């Protein structure tokens, strides 16, 4: 029924709503490989999303509803900055901010 789809779709739809240009995603391909892409463009009404797969590779577009389906089925995942690199960077920045040494050196 309609209601069940909405229940399941809430999180997936929210993920799609949160997407911004420059975000990286990974699409699971039918052969088991993973295609890493970058969100290159979002239509003004957020109905169409265009992804670039790399400097010399083709861009491809997906309508919002297909992207929601992909999130729902788990065939696409957002590569969050909270990954290992992101965490390391965040820690480094936090330590830099909290460390008074550079400030006292400037004084």
- The pLDDT assigned to 93 comes to 65
pLDDT of 11 above 80: yes
Quick one: tokens of 74? 């788990």
Once rounded to an integer, what is the mean pLDDT over residues 16-42?
A: 92
The dihedral over CA atoms of 70, 73, 79, 80, expressed in degrees to the nearest 10, equals: 110
Q: What is the pLDDT of residue 28?
A: 93
pLDDT recorded at residue 71? 94
Going by C-alpha positions, the residue among 92, 83, 19, 90 that lies closest to residue 49 is: 19
pLDDT at 5: 47
pLDDT tens readout for residues 37-56: 999 999 999 999 999 988 78
Q: Which domains does the chain have, with CATH numbers?
A: 2-80 (2.30.30.140)
């Amino acid at each position: 029924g309609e209601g069940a789809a909405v229940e399941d779709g809430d999180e997936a739809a929210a993920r799609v709503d949160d997407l911004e240009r420059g975000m990286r995603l990974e699409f699971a391909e039918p052969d088991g490989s993973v295609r890493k892409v970058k969100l290159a463009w979002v239509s003004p009404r957020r109905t169409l999303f265009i992804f670039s797969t790399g400097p010399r590779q083709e861009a491809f577009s997906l309508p919002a509803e297909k992207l929601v389906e992909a999130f729902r089925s788990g065939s696409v995942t957002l590569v969050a900055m909270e990954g290992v690199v992101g965490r390391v960077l965040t820690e480094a920045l936090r330590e830099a901010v909290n460390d008074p040494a550079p400030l006292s050196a400037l004084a």
